[in-house]
Amino acid sequence: MTSVGRYLGCWFFLQLATSIALVVFTLSTIHCSSLRPPAYSSSEVIIPRRLAAQGGKTKKDEISYIIEAAGRDYIIRLNPPKHLLAKDLPVFTYNSKGERVESRPYMPVECYRQGYVEGIVDSLAVLRTCLGLTGLLKIGARTYGIEPLQNSSAFEHLLYLSEESLPSFSSYRAGVGRTKHQAKDLRIRQTRMMYDYLQYEDFPKYIELYIVIDKKLFVQEGNNVSRVQTVVLDVVNIADATFESLKTSIVLVGLEIWTENNLIDISTDFTEVLQNFNTWRITNMTNRTEYDTAFLFFKQDLKGVFGQSYHSAICKSNFSAGLQVYLQNQLTRFARGFSHELASHIGMNHDDSYCVCGKHTSCLMHTYHASVNLFSNCSILNFIELSEQGSLGCLLNVPRIPSKFMHCGDGVLDIDEQCDCGKSNTCMDDPCCTPNCHLKKHAHCGAGKCCRKCTFVPKGEICRAKASECDLPEYCNGKSPHCPKDLYLQDGTPCSKYSSYCYKKRCWNHDFLCRRIFKGESRSGHERCYLALNILGTPYGNCGFDHSRKEYLKCHPLHSMCGKVQCIDVNSAPELKDMVIHMKEVQGTTCWSTSHPAEIHHHDIGIVPNGIVCDPYKVCINRKCVSKAVLNSSCDPRKTCRGRGVCNNLHKCHCNSGWAPPNCKFWGAGGSVDGGFPTIAWGDSLAKYILGTIIPFCMLIVAAVLLIFPKVWELMGSFMRWWKTSMEKALNLPPKSDTQVRVPVETP
């Protein structure tokens, strides 16, 4: 027995020693090898190989690399970005005295590239190519980050799966299992239709971006201005490539680095930081440079929150600001988070469970975790709607950019280009445009809503149909390929059978707001619901939120209809992400409302928006019930348009069919000076007027003349004979004899 125990003990000791040795060997291997650094759960070391240019097969300015990923070689095609930096980009820093110093340093824009992976659908490559390759690669369903290994003499790079190496926003995932394949196919077809829409001349758009860097981030990057510039350009390059699907370019127009001290108080309260930054921006940045929005990149140890901005406010000068927490050594995630926040700032909402981007469901505007830098079909449609509503007008101006960014073949119509059909293989099938961006001999135009088969669409043909009750149609002028600016009815125009007013192209009321949330037969609650609940200052009944005091604002009874939407006749509570449904009994009536945990970041559909009628001749503006006069309805259609038309948002007449602009005084085809006018067709009121009134009247006159004139002539003859006889009798003249007497004439 003793020998057996001794044997078992030796055996156990031998197994333990072997296990310890194996663990030690494994740990020593991990420590010494750079194949799997602790920062990444899935990575590999690769050596990219640059491909030599192959004569006519290689596009001008294009460079290519072979990169190995997951045991397979991929060819990466890279081209310069269309737009990235403003010309003579200003960089602002501060000296030890706190004085602002402006410089215009050299920016190595030639290092930044965007492209695709050859043979892979929906692929993306966004890289900085100087001193190695740094950036993002999307190959199939996987998104990689790539960066050069430090101190490597063999051009070694670390390639890692970004979605695995980085913590997600949350463990929650949308329930995509409920979405049927048919619905996905429908969304994919819808996406193709929307991409076709994006070819119109209202695109491309340009977001002129001003970025501010806080002191802690500057210190994190070694107090090195050049390193900070590199970080910013890396992020802007990825964001620019991401927004390309929306035909929108991100252009850096200004960079400010707080090299000495932070110029605002930066705490852990995001809302407070955003307000502080926005106040500083309004006060101090008026004379810096022209921009659309400003973002603060700052270093802060926070959990769960990475960015914040004023939702749908990029073109509102008092709120065009946002924040983004800097994630060091996590470029792909930092850029993805910034792109998400910028899209929210534009006005794009979070995706629903049925939204897709290609084969992916966790797209860029996913509520919790975006696995790819792609906008979903829902986001693209959302963006188009924002543009159609006129909410993105500030993004239409073309910024001043270095000439090296403007080149033929990028699919964007630049200055001095007659057309741009894109890549050479696309131009081969283009009937209007040549690869060198000139129109072909027979062509008058290359693209646009008023261009058809390389020729201008005839004058008077509709190019943008009326989309809603408060919208107006636009017409081609026969001389341009572009449709006129999108116009709509003047704010304050009565609509919906005089139950509401037009406001920013929409005709909404409280009933519509309830149906939008609760669907079915729901409708706006009685005034007692609003009066009883919105004066409480609660999440489900308020007139706003005071971020300085961190409390909801109570509505004054006069403004209660402009607070939270209160509904009745609700059959079931809808499933709304990030929304809480509330039910309250008020005098025997169940009033339904919603609340939102972070209204500054998200679009809260539970609030009464501007333009809703709150009382006779009054509308809601900024949670207050004010006189309709604030809508500045300066054009009176009864006077300005003589009651023969309506007023558009430019306060000019859009005449009814049958009357001519600008003031509907004379006959014409209708329309307006700014939106164009249709051609006169037989069905128009003017044609009906001519054919149905003037011509029959003339024919009646002719018929009357032909029928009545002989009778009148006969009567006139009888009257003249009677008149002559009467005159002779009155003068006692003897009647004339039938025999005439010749008087002899004597001769001399």
Set out the domains of the chain in order of their start, with CATH numbers.
91-163+192-389 (3.40.390.10), 465-490+633-687 (no CATH), 493-630 (no CATH)
| Spatial separation of the C-alpha atoms in residues 119 and 74, rounded to whole Å | 9
65: three-class secondary structure by DSSP: strand
Counting residues of the chain whose pLDDT is more than 70, the rounded percentage is 78
| Spatial separation of the C-alpha atoms in residues 321 and 315, rounded to whole Å | 10
Nearest to 567 by CA among 516, 629, 625, 632: 516
Q: Kindly state the average pLDDT of the residues 333-356.
A: 89
Q: Does the pLDDT value for residue 213 go beyond 80? A: yes
22: three-class secondary structure by DSSP: helix
Between 679 and 201, whose confidence is greater? 679
Q: List CB contacts of 338: < 8 A, sequence separation 6 or more.
A: 235, 239, 295, 307, 324
Q: CB neighbours (10 Å) of residue 104?
A: 10
Which of 40-49, 111-120, 209-218, 688-697 reaches the highest mean pLDDT?
209-218
Q: What is the pLDDT of residue 199?
A: 46
Q: Does the pLDDT value for residue 724 go beyond 90? A: no
Q: What is the pLDDT of residue 191?
A: 47
103: three-class secondary structure by DSSP: strand
Lowest-confidence region among 107-116, 620-629, 667-676, 687-696: 687-696
Q: Does the pLDDT value for residue 441 go beyond 80? A: yes
Q: Kindly state the average pLDDT of the residues 92-117.
A: 89
* pTM exceeding 0.75: no
Please classify residue 616 by burial: count the beta carbons closer than 10 Å to its beta carbon, then call 0-12 exposed, 13-18 middle and 19+ buried.
exposed
DSSP 317-365: TTT-EEEEE--TT-HHHHHHHHHHHHHHHHTPPPP-TT--BTTBSS-TT
Q: Does the pLDDT value for residue 19 go beyond 60? A: no
Q: Kindly state the average pLDDT of the residues 319-324.
A: 93
Question: Tens of pLDDT along 252-267?
Answer: 999 999 999 999 999 8
Lowest-confidence region among 92-101, 200-209, 541-550, 636-645: 200-209
Residues facing residue 253 across a β-bridge:
none
Q: Does the pLDDT value for residue 404 go beyond 60? A: no
Q: Does the pLDDT value for residue 580 go beyond 80? A: yes
Nearest to 308 by CA among 280, 356, 362, 271: 271
Please classify residue 21 by burial: count the beta carbons closer than 10 Å to its beta carbon, then call 0-12 exposed, 13-18 middle and 19+ buried.
exposed
Q: Does the pLDDT value for residue 3 go beyond 60? A: no
Lowest-confidence region among 22-26, 75-79, 229-233: 22-26
Q: Does the pLDDT value for residue 146 go beyond 80? A: yes
Q: How confident is the model at residue 160 (pLDDT cuts 50, 70, 90)?
A: confident
| Spatial separation of the C-alpha atoms in residues 475 and 594, rounded to whole Å | 42
DSSP 695-742: HHHHHHHHHHHHHHHHHHHHHHHHHHHHHHHHHHHHTTPPPPPSSPPP
Q: What is the pLDDT of residue 260?
A: 93
| Spatial separation of the C-alpha atoms in residues 659 and 24, rounded to whole Å | 92
Q: Are 350 and 341 in contact (CB under 8 A)?
A: no
Q: Does the pLDDT value for residue 429 go beyond 70? A: yes
Write down the residue that tokens 């609340």 correspond to. 595
Q: Does the pLDDT value for residue 748 go beyond 80? A: no
Please provide the distance, in angstroms rounded to a whole number, between the alpha carbons at the two ends of the chain.
202
Name the region of 611 (left: φ>0; alpha: ψ -120 to 50; beta: rest). left
Q: Kindly state the average pLDDT of the residues 684-689.
A: 54
Q: How confident is the model at residue 39 (pLDDT cuts 50, 70, 90)?
A: very low
| Spatial separation of the C-alpha atoms in residues 191 and 356, rounded to whole Å | 9
Lowest-confidence region among 21-35, 62-76, 135-149: 21-35
| Spatial separation of the C-alpha atoms in residues 159 and 229, rounded to whole Å | 23
Which of 9-23, 167-181, 364-378, 457-471 reaches the highest mean pLDDT?
457-471
| Spatial separation of the C-alpha atoms in residues 283 and 547, rounded to whole Å | 19
Distances (CA, A) of 89 to 95, 127, 224, 402, 594: 19, 21, 18, 10, 46
Please classify residue 23 by burial: count the beta carbons closer than 10 Å to its beta carbon, then call 0-12 exposed, 13-18 middle and 19+ buried.
exposed
Six-digit token pair at 219?
């210190």
Q: How much is the mean pLDDT over the chain?
A: 80
Q: What is the pLDDT of residue 734?
A: 57
Residues facing residue 212 across a β-bridge:
256, 296
Q: What is the pLDDT of residue 192?
A: 45
Q: Kindly state the average pLDDT of the residues 537-550.
A: 85
Between 462 and 389, whose confidence is greater? 462
Six-digit token pair at 42?
């899935």
In this structure, the strands spanning 72-79 and 63-69 are: antiparallel
Q: What is the pLDDT of residue 208?
A: 93
Counting residues of the chain whose pLDDT is more than 90, the rounded percentage is 39
Q: What is the pLDDT of residue 478?
A: 93
Q: What is the pLDDT of residue 183?
A: 45
Q: What is the pLDDT of residue 172?
A: 26
Q: How confident is the model at residue 687 (pLDDT cuts 50, 70, 90)?
A: low
| Spatial separation of the C-alpha atoms in residues 698 and 693, rounded to whole Å | 9
| Spatial separation of the C-alpha atoms in residues 272 and 290, rounded to whole Å | 25
Q: Does the pLDDT value for residue 189 go beyond 80? A: no
Positions annotated as catalytic residues are 341
Q: Kindly state the average pLDDT of the residues 454-475.
A: 92
Residue 743 identity (one-letter amino acid): V
Q: What is the pLDDT of residue 228?
A: 94
Q: Does the pLDDT value for residue 642 go beyond 80? A: yes
Q: Does the pLDDT value for residue 348 go beyond 80? A: yes
